[in-house]
């Protein structure tokens, strides 16, 4: 199924750049014939089915990106991936970066469970049985830091000031532990925390000169960053959990722009409540509104992540749609929680002053704000066709009618599988057009939301049987006219999903990664 673009991904960015022509590597380690034949682009190995095994054998550490040439996220990643490869090579690292065109090498993609693009996997010592999924950000520094954590010590020992300066100066964010005794309990807790963080480099030092350079007179931990305050000193009981909370609260800017590169940091982090400012960069008082937003952000550090989105940018239009916004309605603020269920909130006021934004956030944290549910206007002819049209405003009345058995398709207009289902669903509507108590209906879930049902993928099919119990039955049978008829004639039994049926909500839409038109391919693009 096509996944509902989680706030995250509404969120499909199509950043285009040209692919350079392939280059041949001059030679490999030891001058081996196989290595000499390795194909490269911008320092990144280009692997095919015939060369994949050779690459695993030749390189102790190998990070492999499975990509599609049409994938916008892959195109955006390409320059950062090449920068990471160049940085590692300049350092003399034995880690190599590689890529596989999964649309050409479909057997390789299938072997390694590739269901979306880009998929990045890390291979160690030629072991293809259990490669590790890459989980960090999409910038060169993120990639390098993650790989160093996977292949080296959790924290680099900094023996002098030069080593410490190099760590701080060469990274957007870095954490250094200052301990006179590197075997102390506090130092051990620090190293445990370092092992748990994939995307930030850690250093540890007992050098008096390093203590003096960074103005520490006793043991401590400092997070260095190239934004906001520049550094944060840890305070409190030095335990792994406390350190991780400290890092979580300080590793991102107070306000961060949503981009292709920052998306993994934003949505992969621990803070699951996000407030978004949809702000066109072309607006006359752009900086003033952004400054107001930043002013409010400081009060909610570690609790709410403040994000701004350029609402003029074509890449961000799906996000606006997801929140039911139009470009002409921006600047605007929305809040979303990304727990098990995504829930959206809208301020009562359009005032974007720092005080009003703080007031909105405080009311949310106090539980005084009700979720914002989108709804289209009810069409006058909503019930004139065999398939009834539901919107947020009439859903409850129709779906939970105690005298009707209502079968609803929750769809997205852009979803390829929804388009394939449409003629079958129309035939189903015709079949039961005059039935006394069976209603066939559909609802555009990109524009309508209801409290009773949370939709995570498209199409989702749910049956609301007659009666007073407000029961909901998920359909998990064949998407055929006969399958639907059996389900309805059995009272929602034949084809119902089991209670413990846990479905990979993105698998179906992404199983065949080469088929479909460009629009469908875009939907399969993953962050």
- Known catalytic residues? 71, 74, 415, 418
CB 205 within 8 A of CB 234: no
Contacts of 163 (CB under 8 A, 6+ apart): 156, 203, 205
Distance CA 120, CA 135 (A): 8
What distance in Å separates the CA atoms of residue 216 and residue 493, rounded to the nearest whole number?
68
Taking a C-beta distance cutoff of 8 angstroms, is the pair 35, 29 a contact?
Answer: yes
Tell which residue, 341, 279, 339, 342, has the closest CA to residue 306: 279
> Which of these, 268, 270, 269, 288, lies nearest to 279 by C-alpha position?
288
Helix (H) or strand (E) holding 107: helix 106-111
The Cα-based distances of 405 to 194, 439, 498 in angstroms read 56, 6, 20
Q: Which of 330, 480, 498, 491 is nearest to 420 (CA)?
A: 480
**Contact, 371 vs 344, CB < 8 A?**
yes
Match 């129309």 to its residue by tokens: 426
Contact criterion met (CB below 8 Å) for 80 and 261: yes
Q: Are 138 and 77 in contact (CB under 8 A)?
A: yes
Do residues 221 and 246 make contact, with C-beta atoms less than 8 angstroms apart? yes
Burial (CB count <10 Å: 0-12, 13-18, 19+), residue 408: buried
As a whole number of angstroms, the distance between CA 206 and CA 157 comes to 9
Nearest residue to 459 via CA among 485, 441, 438, 432: 441
Interatomic CA distance for residues 220 and 180, integer angstroms = 10
Residue 257 to residue 276: CA distance in whole angstroms: 9
77 vs 141: CA distance, rounded Å: 12
Q: How far apart are CA 491 and CA 489, in angstroms?
A: 5
């Amino acid at each position: 199924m096509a996944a509902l673009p989680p706030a995250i991904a509404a969120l499909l960015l199509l950043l285009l750049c040209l692919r350079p022509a392939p280059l041949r590597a001059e030679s490999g380690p030891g001058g081996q014939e196989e290595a000499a034949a390795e194909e490269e682009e911008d320092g990144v190995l280009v692997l095919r089915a015939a060369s994949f095994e050779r690459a695993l054998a030749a390189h102790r550490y190998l990070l492999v990106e499975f990509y599609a040439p049409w994938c916008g996220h892959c195109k955006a990643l390409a320059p950062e991936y090449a920068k990471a490869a160049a940085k590692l090579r300049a350092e003399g690292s034995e880690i190599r970066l590689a890529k596989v065109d999964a649309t050409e090498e479909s057997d390789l993609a299938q072997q390694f469970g590739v269901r979306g693009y880009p998929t990045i996997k890390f291979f160690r010592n030629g072991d293809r049985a259990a490669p590790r999924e890459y989980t960090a950000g999409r910038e060169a520094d993120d990639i390098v830091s993650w790989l160093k954590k996977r292949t080296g010590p959790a924290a680099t020992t900094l023996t002098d000031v030069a080593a410490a300066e190099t760590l701080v100066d060469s990274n957007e964010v870095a954490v250094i532990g200052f301990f006179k005794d590197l075997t102390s309990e506090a130092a051990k807790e620090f190293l445990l925390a370092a092992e748990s963080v994939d995307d930030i480099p850690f250093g540890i030092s007992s050098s008096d000169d390093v203590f003096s350079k960074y103005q520490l007179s006793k043991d401590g931990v400092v997070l260095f960053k190239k934004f906001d305050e520049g550094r944060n000193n840890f305070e409190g009981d030095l335990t792994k959990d406390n350190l991780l909370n400290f890092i979580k609260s300080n590793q991102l800017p107070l306000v961060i722009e949503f981009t292709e590169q920052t998306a993994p940091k934003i949505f992969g982090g621990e803070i699951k409540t996000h407030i978004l400012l949809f702000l066109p960069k072309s607006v006359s008082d752009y900086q003033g509104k952004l400054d107001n937003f930043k002013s409010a952000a400081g009060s909610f550090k570690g609790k709410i992540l403040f994000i701004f989105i350029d609402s003029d940018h074509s890449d961000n239009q799906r996000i606006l749609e997801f929140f039911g916004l139009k470009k002409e309605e921006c600047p605007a603020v929305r809040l979303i929680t990304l727990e098990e269920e995504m829930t959206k909130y809208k301020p009562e006021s359009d005032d974007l002053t720092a005080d009003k934004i703080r007031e909105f956030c405080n009311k949310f944290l106090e539980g005084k704000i009700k979720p914002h549910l989108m709804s289209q206007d009810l069409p006058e002819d909503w019930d004139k066709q065999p398939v009834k049209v539901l919107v947020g405003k009439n859903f409850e009345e129709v779906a939970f009618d105690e005298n009707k058995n209502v079968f609803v398709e929750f769809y997205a207009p852009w979803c390829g599988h929804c388009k394939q289902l449409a003629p079958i669903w129309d035939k189903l509507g015709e079949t039961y057009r005059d039935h006394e108590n069976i209603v066939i209906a559909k609802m555009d879930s990109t524009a309508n939301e209801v409290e009773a049902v949370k939709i995570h993928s498209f199409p989702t099919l749910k049956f609301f049987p007659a009666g007073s119990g407000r029961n909901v039955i998920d359909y998990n049978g064949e998407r055929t006219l006969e399958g639907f008829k059996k389900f309805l004639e059995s009272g929602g039994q034949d084809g119902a999903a089991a209670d413990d049926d846990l479905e990979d909500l993105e698998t179906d839409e992404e199983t065949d990664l080469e088929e479909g038109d460009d629009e469908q391919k875009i939907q399969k693009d993953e962050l």
